Structure 1
């Protein structure tokens, strides 16, 4: 089954916590703090895999979580950093933030892309020793890894895209000019998935051609099967519009040409400006007069016209030569630039905001990072308490309590740690 879009959740590993430890050795007095730093959490890294052609794997597994960094240990031993989690995707996959639609990466090249960065390891108590604070009994926790929901969207990388109504001969054309073997039959929507074929024009000359499933009127609004494949046309450098000039399906070739072009423009106005050649197929099923009338119509619109009979390859070489020549003058396949992260307001801090609630005269302050920070503090040590006080002030906890209406002498609860509020 061809799957070209998926939504998954990714979570980078949290950083390991710094250690609170002291050097203890026989005959060594006052060994001092020697708590090691926590290890870095694993990042979520996306990598192109040439063996993948769809996003079907993400239909069954929707959550990817990297490992957490190890905590620091005594003896100044740093925790082990976690390995990165490698997520393999087919070439041409766009990675977007599902919440905002912001493009995070275009997986068209070979370079791996870090989509969610792992958290930094926390400092051990060694870093907090000073001449006046020689035995710090606190350390920093590791920072959390990034977590987000991403939308994966596959846009095939092809130089040439074949577009047109169903059953006009697109699959036949790609089968005779390349090694691709699409399903070919005399009924609509035989092609249910895009098919890529490499067209070799001689020594050192080749290009990739994509057979896009047939479009119908209203495709840009979701009619028929082709609407979900219009995105694959966006990367094509050149379009070849295949038209049944014989009208064997009971349609007018001129009307077919107009309708498909309108569908492309409605889906993406830039597609209306994309270079296009027109191939009139099934010339053997009509007379020369009808073919020439259609040629005059197409050339009057400014397009080059090539009459062909795809099954016997009649006129196909002339079309391929024109395609190759036009491609030599066009820029490379379109690659989308990641969108920068919007700037946060100057007042916004790095940490998540603190939530303060009041129950029976007790003020409860909560934040995901706060509980972890408090776990590294020794409440029986005066220096640790001083560090906690600075942390609450600098992180905005005290300001949040004041905004919630806390007064002198009121009881504040921080995840089970209670104290009287003092200005």
Structure 2
């Protein structure tokens, strides 16, 4: 089926029926009075979002849609029949704009949502409605009003949770065919995908999401190069974007980091809101030898920007589960921790690098050396004091031996230092009454 995502159509609602002018004419009934009925209402044009549709192909070949008009009124108080509304079914995600003004009239983003694009005309009143006590035979009726007519532009934006972005031949079709049951065309030449493809991805714990694969974007797409931006509208509703980088691309000016910057620049030109959506960066085709050699340089370059890179191979399935886990976390929880990495610390400028460390390092060494120099004499003095104390301790027993022996007999060894003080005081001649009596006795005897 051919994919059509933008059409222009003309719709016209039905006109209302005219009221009837009629009088009652029956045998033996004179001047029966007016009995003209009212006209029926015209049908309206109503758009309904149908989840079973995925393209606007039906409107490409039938661009004029007219609803039926209401019937005219009749005699004998008979009203005309109203016309049924014309139902136009469109895919979910269709935007309806006024072609003349360009204003957005409605966004049919929910299944079953309805929108009346053209209101049907109202039926006119018959002459029986104009009869009064003073005007009993009105010979006129009211005509029905005309139905609305308008030219509309239908624009389809597919509803998908995850969108695939990348250069042509980056592996997007292979990716969606591996994770879902979608079977897009896969070939080894650029621009294989000419229309968007949708696939339902069955994730863990009965969770699922819709993935959209759009044709490749190249440099200059904003000026109409390649397929241009005509398909980027289908990923505007996506919550997460998977950016596939072709690591095996060869040719003039084809570098992975250069391709990444070009595609983001084209997204920003198309829509700033689309460029701000969270992106899961995947380095594809790492199963190739020269592609794996490029991986380290790309990872380091994006790490400096704080962006995480998921190396994958859509051909072999390497790294696909980790990529889906990161995508599902952003989609269902809104957390983007796995998409970001902490950038490496930036080295200080040469001028600051030579000044700051050079001043701090010598100060610390000088301080430690001074502290060591100050502590060294202190240790020697302490050692001298200890030696003098030991010498005094050796001399003390010779002078005060009897006092120590007596103290050792009367009290335990722990209390000996406490009883040495009175002995020293007594020897020094300070206040003590015990040695004073023998001194007086010696003086009296002499």
TM-score by length of 1: 0.75
* Partner secondary structure for residue 202 of structure 1: coil
Structure 1 unpaired stretches of 5+ = 332-423
- Is 1:222–1:228's contact at 8 Å kept on the other side of the alignment? no
Partner of 1:329: 333
Cα distance in structure 2, aligned partners of 1:305 and 1:134: 88
Residues paired across the two proteins, number: 331
* Partner secondary structure for residue 203 of structure 2: strand
* Partner secondary structure for residue 283 of structure 1: coil
Partner of 1:195: 197
- Is 2:287–2:316's contact at 8 Å kept on the other side of the alignment? no
- Is 1:121–1:142's contact at 8 Å kept on the other side of the alignment? yes
Q: Does residue 266 of the first structure (1) align with residue 269 of the second (2)? A: yes
TM-score by length of 2: 0.71
Q: Equivalent of 1:253, from 249, 252, 256?
A: 256
* Partner secondary structure for residue 287 of structure 2: helix
- Is 1:17–1:71's contact at 8 Å kept on the other side of the alignment? yes
Q: Does residue 42 of the first structure (1) align with residue 46 of the second (2)? A: no
Partner of 1:67: 68
How far the C-alpha of 1:297 sits from its partner, in A, is: 2.2
Cα distance in structure 1, aligned partners of 2:212 and 2:44: 35
Structure with more strand by fraction: 1
Are the structure 2 counterparts of residues 299 and 28 from structure 1 closer, same or farther at C-alpha, using a change threshold of 3 Å? Answer: farther
Q: Does residue 18 of the first structure (1) align with residue 35 of the second (2)? A: no
Partner of 2:390: none
Partner of 1:31: 32
Cα distance in structure 2, aligned partners of 1:256 and 1:123: 69
- Is 2:247–2:291's contact at 8 Å kept on the other side of the alignment? no
Partner of 2:365: none
Partner of 1:365: none
Note the 1:343-422 alignment, pairs <5 A: none
Q: Does residue 87 of the first structure (1) align with residue 88 of the second (2)? A: yes
Cα distance in structure 2, aligned partners of 1:19 and 1:312: 77
Structure with more helix by fraction: 2
Partner of 2:297: 293
Cα distance in structure 1, aligned partners of 2:179 and 2:302: 24
Q: Which runs of at least 4 in structure 1 moved beyond 3 Å after TM superposition? A: 246-250
- Is 1:245–1:294's contact at 8 Å kept on the other side of the alignment? no
How far the C-alpha of 1:308 sits from its partner, in A, is: 0.2
Q: Give RMSD over aligned pairs.
A: 1.7
* Partner secondary structure for residue 182 of structure 2: coil
Partner of 2:406: none
Q: Equivalent of 2:318, from 290, 314, 319?
A: 314
Higher relative contact order (CA closer than 8 Å, sequence separation 6+) = 1
Partner of 2:362: none
Partner of 2:345: none
- Is 1:220–1:264's contact at 8 Å kept on the other side of the alignment? no
- Is 2:20–2:38's contact at 8 Å kept on the other side of the alignment? yes
Structure 2 unpaired stretches of 5+ = 336-446
- Is 1:214–1:226's contact at 8 Å kept on the other side of the alignment? no
Cα distance in structure 1, aligned partners of 2:307 and 2:98: 39
